[in-house]
Amino acid sequence: MILTKIVIGASGAIGAAIADRLEEQDDTVLRVARTTTPALDLTDEASIKAVADHVREVGQPVELVFDATGFLHGDGYMPERSWRALDAEHMLLDYQLNTVGPALLMKHFLPLLQRDSRAVFATLSARVGSISDNRLGGWHSYRASKAALNQMVRTCSIELARKNPEAICVAIHPGTVASRLSEPFSKSGLDVRTPEVAAEEILDVLDSLAPTDTGKLFDHKGKRVEF
């Protein structure tokens, strides 16, 4: 039986490295992005549903769905340093791409996870989304959108456990990875890793998880990050 693994956001640094690593393990991988066929756009639920329907039509059991999407800066926006920089459009964009989009991925892809054995849905979150770990302030919209994502993971994991007890739904903090997203913030002293190293670490963490770990946030070393 062929087990399908799906990488969403496969055109980005982490997503591409995750997909490459999975393919090295001889897994059947479906790479999905805005530029693939079928294409997926987080801001367009119809495209999300279309990809899920495509997977359903193929009829292969899904062992892993990895969401490597996320928004930190772009379109003229950078993380806020003060509440004085708060902007409604910026906040809505962060929530659209970091919370609403991944939540819709859960809506359409959690039902596709295989039921006869262990399966995983993982989405990239961030340590700065932890409310209890927030000691520096700043990055208001990004922090809030990732905190909301963590809540969505927790909430959906509870429902998932009732329907598919062997399935796992988690958030992953990847650390600082060399990419376009992290480049403006990769200052000296940070542990900046290549996408290839990050992918290996993340997949090792996912391989180590059990159904009792569902609904939690883990860093790239496998340590739980409190919400």
Distances (CA, A) of 159 to 58, 105, 123, 127, 147: 25, 15, 17, 24, 19
pLDDT at residue 120 above 50? yes
The pLDDT assigned to 188 comes to 52
pLDDT at residue 187 above 70? no
Provide the mean pLDDT of the chain: 93
If one counts every other C-beta atom within 10 angstroms of the C-beta of residue 19, the result is 25
Task: Copy the structure tokens of residue 142.
Answer: 């990004």
Residue 137 CB partners (closer than 8 Å, separation 6+): none
The pLDDT assigned to 160 comes to 98
pLDDT at residue 211 above 90? yes
What residues make up the domain containing 84? 4-225
pLDDT at residue 26 above 50? yes
- The structure tokens 């007890």 sit at 165
Measured CA to CA, the distance from residue 101 to residue 9 in angstroms comes to: 12
In this prediction, residues 102-124 reach a mean pLDDT of 97
pLDDT at residue 181 above 80? no
The pLDDT assigned to 42 comes to 96
127 phi, psi to nearest 5 deg: -60, -35
Q: What is the CATH number of the domain that holds 81?
A: 3.40.50.720
The pLDDT assigned to 30 comes to 96
> Percentage of residues in the chain with pLDDT exceeding 90?
85
In this prediction, residues 121-146 reach a mean pLDDT of 95
* 8, 66 Cβ separation under 8 angstroms: yes
Which of 122-126, 176-180, 196-200, 212-216 has the lowest average pLDDT? 176-180
Q: What is the DSSP secondary-structure string of the chain?
A: -PPEEEEETTTSHHHHHHHHHHHHTT-EEEEE-TTSSS---TT-HHHHHHHHHHHHHHTPPEEEEEE----SSBTTB---SSGGG--HHHHHHHHIIIIIHHHHHHHHHGGGB-SSS-EEEEEE--GGG-STT--S---HHHHHHHHHHHHHHHHHHHHHHHH-TTEEEEEEE--EESSTTTGGG--TTS-EE-HHHHHHHHHHHHHH--GGGTT-EEETTS-EE--
CA angle, 184 then 180 then 199, to 5°: 115
pLDDT tens per residue, range 77-94: 999 999 999 999 999 999
How many domains does the structure of the chain reveal? Answer: 1
Measured CA to CA, the distance from residue 173 to residue 93 in angstroms comes to: 20
Measured CA to CA, the distance from residue 135 to residue 38 in angstroms comes to: 42
Measured CA to CA, the distance from residue 176 to residue 182 in angstroms comes to: 7
In this prediction, residues 148-159 reach a mean pLDDT of 98
pLDDT tens per residue, range 46-78: 999 999 999 999 888 899 999 999 999 998 899
What pTM does this model have? 0.93
The pLDDT assigned to 1 comes to 47
